[in-house]
């Protein structure tokens, strides 16, 4: 759906990080082109920094959020989903993934 709508294309306005939420001095920004959010690069950064717990938020609770949470658990992370910071096409679909 995202690909067909051409939204969140790297470099486009819809993929720009909002300035108020932008990265700080020691933050790392990674781009991921897959449904699940646990890329080898992210796992490397998290492991290097000793991070073992993740709070996940995002669009498409039933797709990207859920698959990222499952992958994170498979990688051994403690996972929490910020339920009120996620969305899906319908409330029913959202609730089924939470």
Note the pLDDT tens digit of each residue in 23-75.
999 898 888 777 888 999 999 999 999 999 999 998 888 988 999 999 999 99
Instruction: Name the domain count of the chain.
Output: 1
CATH label of the domain that carries residue 93: 3.40.50.850
Provide the 3-class DSSP secondary structure of residue 67.
helix
- Residue whose entry in the numeric block shows the structure tokens 């859920």: 66
Residue 73 in any domain: the answer is yes
Residue 90 in any domain: the answer is yes
Name the pTM for this structure. 0.78
Domain of 93 in residue numbering reads as: 25-97
Mean per-residue pLDDT, 3-31:
81
DSSP state of 90: S
Identify the sign of the CA torsion 49, 51, 70, 7: negative
Contacts of 57 (CB under 8 A, 6+ apart): 65, 81, 82, 85, 86
Residue 38 in any domain: the answer is yes
Residue 50 in any domain: the answer is yes
Residue 35 in any domain: the answer is yes
11 vs 4, higher pLDDT: 11
Which pLDDT score is estimated for 7?
Answer: 66
């Amino acid at each position: 759906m995202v690909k067909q709508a051409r939204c969140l294309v790297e470099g486009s306005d819809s993929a720009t990080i909002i300035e108020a939420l932008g990265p700080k001095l020691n933050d790392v920004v990674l781009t991921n082109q897959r449904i699940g959010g646990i890329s080898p690069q992210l796992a490397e950064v998290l492991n290097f920094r000793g991070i073992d717990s993740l709070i996940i938020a995002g669009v498409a609770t039933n797709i990207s959020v859920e698959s990222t949470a499952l992958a994170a658990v498979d990688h051994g992370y403690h996972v929490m989903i910020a339920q009120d910071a996620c969305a899906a096409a319908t409330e029913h679909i959202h609730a089924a993934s939470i």
